[in-house]
Amino acid sequence: MTSISTILRAIVAPAFILTAGFAAADSDREALRIALMQPESGPEAAVSHYEMHDYRRLWASDEAAAALFAALRSAPEHGLPEARYGVDRLERMRAEALDAPAEMAAAELAMTRAALLFARDLSSGLLEPRRIDRDLHIAPPRPDEAALLARLAAAPAATLSGLAPAEPGYARLVSMLAALRALPEDAWGETAPGGATLRLGDRDPRVAALRARLVRKGDHAGAAPGADPEVFDAALEADVRAFQRRHGLNDDGAAGQRTLDAINTPLADRIGQVIVSLERARWTNRERGRRHVYVNQADFTVQLVEDGATIFEERVVVGARRHRTPEFSDEMEHLVFNPTWHVPRSIAGEEILPLLQEDPEYLAKKNMRLVSRTGDDPPDPAMTDWSLYSRADFPYAIKQAPGAGNALGRVKFMFPNAHAIYLHDTPSKSLFAKDARAFSHGCVRVQDPLRFAEMLLAPQMEDPTGRIARILDTGRETVVRLETPVPVHLDYRTAWTDEAGLWQFRDDVYGRDGRILSALLAAGVSLTPEAGG
């Protein structure tokens, strides 16, 4: 027979345990409330979150804490510094707190601060672009901390795993970084010697070195059995062409200096490019638009993308190094056919004035005219002593009328912005044949602008080709508005993996990636996988 005392113990024990549990929870909440009163407790969003949720801990469960620690330890996979988040210290704080409410509250808040910092960095970038380069007009989409904390409270593991940019190109960059870091430092062997361009049929010891370097890089299978490795044969030429296409070079199959420079680029430099591209992808982690224009300045190309598919792609010319095209996003609102060129003041004073001083008929020959900035009638250029003016005090504006020699060609694509940058046609077609195309004053010249215009106007008219031809035939400046503005993104990427799985690299034509990488390294990012945090 069961004794009364046994029955009482069976009733009282669970109640005692439950009461103790409530007491412990109350103690934890009170400790967290007190900790949040300290000045260094955490961001305002964290304070508000805990107040609104009765001071319940985000990281109370071992599963939630493990998910956070695993996420923080994954930082190097994304080109972020694990040490920045102090995961080793956080693990010790939580383990040593045990049942001490004050210490557990300190660990809780430290973990939340680390989670918010990591989420910010992984979703929108470690750096502030505008502090790196004056031409980076990019505002990263920083996460809403209150909304983020609410998601962490509901589903910590899922929220942490979904912080990185969702675009497929980002995941491919992460894989690319892992593959490059897995290679030993000398994986690509000795560099190929420089010298005269090597071509099909050439026999030279340098060919053997070139061949060996490409074999080590995985771009060539090597000389055929019994073949002379010093002879530049058809198989080597084909693989040089493929390498050139992967690096944005004209695929002529000849190993000239630009091709050799790309072949000889060190492994560490390529790793740095990928790390920078990951940071850039985080800076622009937002929807580009169902239909948008994308210019990759480092690749010298423009794309029109619709529902994720590229429906138009063409070569472009971007700003020369002293007139660098800035990076920013805007919306294309209209097209101007038969445009008048309003010559920028800097070009008028620095470039056209010296030409006028040499030849007073220069403006007439170029279908240009003077425009007074004060409203007075401008002088006859041919009867003016231009030696009286300097580049700093040139007092007139200059316009070039529509026509065959107009610097803007037959059409310009307008997305009004503070930088006075737009896309346009050009009469100087020869520059599109070059593999490095940084020659403009900042605007972006398009190789096939009329086809581009047709694609942009196709959604709002049945026969854009005919409509454009009729407008051009008038010779008059004509504005055609886009019924739906199209987002334009002037970007700059030097490393990516394309949809076919091929690694693509481009030169850092403006030196921007170098400055970004320096800032990342100064912030603790490592070219090699980190050990510990």
Q: Residue by residue, what is the 3-state secondary structure of 465-525? A: HHHHHHHHHHCCCEEEEEEEEEEEEEECCCEEECCCCCEEECCCCCCHHHHHHHHHHHCCC
CATH node for 299-339+411-491? 2.40.440.10
Q: Tell which CATH architecture fits domain 165-286+507-533.
A: Orthogonal Bundle (1.10)
Return d(Cα 114, Cα 67) in angstroms, integer.
13
- Maximum distance among all Cα pairs of the chain, rounded to whole angstroms: 128
What are the domain boundaries of the chain? 14-164, 165-286+507-533, 299-339+411-491, 341-401
Nearest Cα residue to 46 out of 121, 123, 149: 149
Cα 98–chain centre separation: 44
pLDDT tens, per residue, the chain with 533 residues: 454 544 434 444 444 333 444 455 688 899 999 989 887 777 899 999 999 999 999 999 999 999 999 999 999 999 999 999 999 999 999 999 877 999 999 999 999 999 999 999 999 999 999 999 999 999 999 999 999 999 999 999 999 999 999 999 999 999 999 999 999 999 999 999 999 999 999 999 999 999 999 999 999 999 999 999 999 999 999 999 999 999 999 999 999 999 999 999 999 999 999 999 999 999 999 999 999 999 999 999 999 999 999 999 999 999 999 999 999 999 999 999 999 999 999 899 999 999 999 999 999 999 999 998 887 888 999 889 999 999 888 989 999 999 989 999 999 999 999 999 999 999 999 999 999 999 999 999 999 999 999 999 999 999 999 999 999 999 999 999 999 999 999 999 999 999 899 999 999 999 999 999 999 999 999 999 864 44
Three-class SS state of 325: coil
Query: In this structure, what are the phi and psi dihedrals at residue 63, rounded to the nearest 5 degrees?
Result: -65, -45
Return d(Cα 299, Cα 248) in angstroms, integer.
7
What is the model's pTM?
0.91
Give residue 526's identity as a one-letter amino acid code. S
Neighbour-count burial for 306-316, b at 16+ CB within 10 Å, e otherwise: beeeeebebbb
Specify whether the CB–CB gap between 367 and 391 falls below 8 A.
no
Give residue 524's identity as a one-letter amino acid code. G
Return contacts of 107-110, CB within 8 angstroms, 24+ apart: 107/59, 108/32, 108/35, 108/57, 108/58, 108/59, 108/60, 109/32, 109/35, 109/36, 109/41, 109/42, 109/46, 110/86
Q: Indicate the pairing of strand 411-414 with strand 291-296.
A: unpaired
Three-class SS state of 336: strand
